[in-house]
A and B are shown apart, each in its own frame.
Chain A
């Protein structure tokens, strides 16, 4: 790649991480052998097998749920709320202490750049525990009456795009509210969850409060459908979300879903173009675009379209794609071969439907799963790449003339997770924000997250919120939620 600057490699050492040859399941405070098959988890940047993990069977899930139930009834439930909080503070501190280890392991197993796992995923995971720790003895202030109660055992199924962070978003509020959990990490990214199990042991968290059962879809189904689970929390695709909603229909299980997205990122002609371009890049190429709230539909005002696209292409030309452990890397590996195939397929469809594909020149590593940052222009609202979630580093550029048209196009989606607005005019930002049917609106910024800030979707992007006071309501019942 002809690049503005030449960089020497600056790899983060992986020696800080010790990966065992195989892992069992974390049930009732112990690592135990699963009764199902084992399967490998690989480094998507090299296709190297990192270790073998266990595919939790129905019997394993049952064992985990029973351990969680016992802990809920015997230890965690009856515990003084302040003590529950102290355990969570301990976990937050342990995550901070071992932050580099988690970051390296996350980048190895997931393929995301170390810059992101180090500066975003792991610090936010720790922050989530620190935030919810403080809530544990203040639940009467959540807004569910004076005596909100935990639901019991929470079954949680999380995706592969932010493995540790999604774990934190699920586990921290559940435990703070007094529930116990059975968590199934994603099939391709189980390792930081298993390292988290070690953190639970170092924190002396009572046995059974957190149980981690690795596996694929069948294991997740067993968690969701287990009769003694009181609460199901899922982050992942809208299709799987639908089947989970069907599965819990008619049961007592409370459900929250954080599903797909196809966010509009709207750039008005008065926006500061350089800042907007940084925001567009951050919006779609952060985490290889494996982000449910990614700004994958760029809606740019017609009069500045050419200028924005030219500036965007210039900026994308400086992005470095490659070794996730290199501190200079901007875009890491695609998480799996399966996901890479989907990105390729949808991109090919984009071209076949008449959109123009642009990718920067440059070579990709030979081994591993890679997809270059990609921009499609001449995209119409009817194109698949403007409607389907690609979940990869693929940006579709559409145009608009008036604010009304921008809002109409932005809302023309079955999804409603997030959106972006770029403009220097405050009144316009607030007006547009109020008309967007999306759960998170970033104005003159994008892809910002914080434990105090509720996150979640409208429409088919799911229901329920994670983060803030709202995130606790998903794990509590009060006089107000019969």
Chain B
């Protein structure tokens, strides 16, 4: 890519779990190719154990992240956008190679992904006002409702849109104060690993986001039935497995975001539809009196 004699130092693409970059404990890797089938890298193929480790990390990170002020979370998410901007060229190359996009289309996807972090960063301290409020009960009580994060959210990220799609499903989970275990696009995992490097240097506490490269069909089962996962987003589930995952999720009454029939247009205005499924409403009553 650079016209001189220097031999490039290639990156080893690994998982991102609990703020570190481990290989899969299984030792498995798989070949990642560009859209034309040329070798790009060997990615770590996450295993059941990796998924379980990721859930432990996400649970451990939940108290601090959900307990942070909304202002603080907003600044951290904005910081992700700042750091991504500095790696713009790298993201464009990876998205172009993996998705087979022209340079200009890849740039548009990366731009939109960065802007999406900014959009969600601005939501953190608005949600309580928009989704909660004081309830005018018929009695001498102060009664108010606030949205709170559900907990640990497993996300099967979209298979096609490797960066914009990934950010579009991850950012709402974080903006609402949840922690995430994400299974990235199987065939296009490289932008996700680079995003992990961005997150690791953006003040996002370790464990808040855990990125597993590998097969959503395999890992989805373990995450859907895992008792310490509170919610699951099935967007990137293989279509013939989604129903099975939803059934498994019922075992612990997980909140389930069902997959769309076809992968949506990720450039559309996201609205609240990816935040409300991962929010609980807490209502607190207290008597009013002298």
Contacts and interface: CB of A to CB of B under 8 A. Distances in A.
To the question of whether A and B form a pair in one complex, the answer is: yes
A470 B144 CA distance: 13
A338 B106 CA distance: 64
B136 interface: yes
A460 B286 CA distance: 25
B130 A143 contact: yes
B253 A245 contact: yes
Given A245-B250, A249-B243, A459 B230 contact: yes
Interface in A442-476: 442-445, 448, 450, 452-456, 458-463, 465, 468-470, 473
B272 A242 contact: no
Contacts of B8: none
Interface string A134-146: 0000000001010
Chain B interface, >50% SS class: mixed
Interface residues of B, number: 39
Given A452-B135, A468-B145, A429 B286 contact: yes
Nearest to A436: B282
A473 B277 CA distance: 11
Given A242-B253, A245-B253, A249-B247, A453 B281 contact: no
B20 interface: no
B138 A439 contact: no
B40 to A, nearest CB: 33
A433 interface: yes
A425 interface: no
B273 A453 contact: no
B282 A441 contact: yes
Interface in B32-74: none
A361 interface: no
Contact of A452 (B131, B137, B243, B247): B137
Contacts of A439: 280-283
Interface in A247-289: 249-250, 257, 259
B284 interface: yes
Interface residues of A, number: 46
Nearest to B273: A480
Given A249-B247, A453-B145, A470-B281, A459 B253 contact: yes
A372 B246 CA distance: 42
Contacts of A481: 273, 276
A443 B285 CA distance: 6
Interface in B111-143: 130-131, 133, 135-139, 141, 143
A122 interface: no
B72 to A, nearest CB: 15
A291 to B, nearest CB: 15
Given A433-B284, A444-B287, A463-B255, A470 B246 contact: no
A482 B264 CA distance: 10
Contacts, number: 113
B100 interface: no
A238 to B, nearest CB: 7
Interface in A30-86: none
B271 interface: yes
Contacts of B230: 459
User: Could you say which of B136, B276, B280 has the most chain A C-beta atoms within 10 Å of its C-beta?
Assistant: B280
A246 B250 contact: yes
A127 B130 CA distance: 25
Interface string B178-190: 0000000000000
B22 interface: no
Given A448-B139, A450-B143, A482 B283 contact: no
Contacts of B272: 143, 480
A243 B251 CA distance: 8
Contact of B137 (A259, A453, A462, A465): A453
B282 A438 contact: yes
Contacts of B283: 439-441, 453-455
B242 interface: yes
Contact of A249 (B250, B252, B260, B281): B250
User: Could you say which of B130, B138, B242, B253 has the most chain A C-beta atoms within 10 Å of its C-beta?
Assistant: B253
A448 B287 CA distance: 10
Interface in B235-290: 242-244, 246-247, 249-253, 255-256, 260, 264, 271-273, 276, 280-287
Contacts of B246: 245, 249-250
A241 interface: yes
A480 B276 CA distance: 9
Contacts of A241: 253
B251 A443 contact: no
A452 B136 contact: yes
B233 to A, nearest CB: 13
B285 A448 contact: yes
A444 B281 contact: no
A460 B253 contact: yes
Nearest to B130: A143
Contacts of A468: 135, 145
A352 interface: no
A433 B284 CA distance: 7
Contacts of A4: none
Contacts of B287: 444-445
B252 A460 contact: yes
Contacts of B136: 452
A246 B253 CA distance: 10
B243 A250 contact: yes
Interface of A: 127, 143, 145, 238, 241-243, 245-246, 249-250, 257, 259, 414, 429, 433, 438-445, 448, 450, 452-456, 458-463, 465, 468-470, 473, 479-482
30 contacts: A145-B271, A238-B253, A242-B251, A245-B246, A246-B250, A249-B243, A249-B244, A249-B256, A250-B246, A433-B282, A439-B283, A440-B282, A441-B283, A442-B285, A445-B286, A448-B139, A448-B141, A450-B135, A450-B138, A450-B139, A452-B135, A452-B143, A453-B145, A454-B135, A454-B281, A454-B283, A463-B255, A468-B135, A480-B271, A481-B273
Shortest 3 CB-CB contacts between residues of A and residues of B: A250-B243, A245-B250, A249-B246
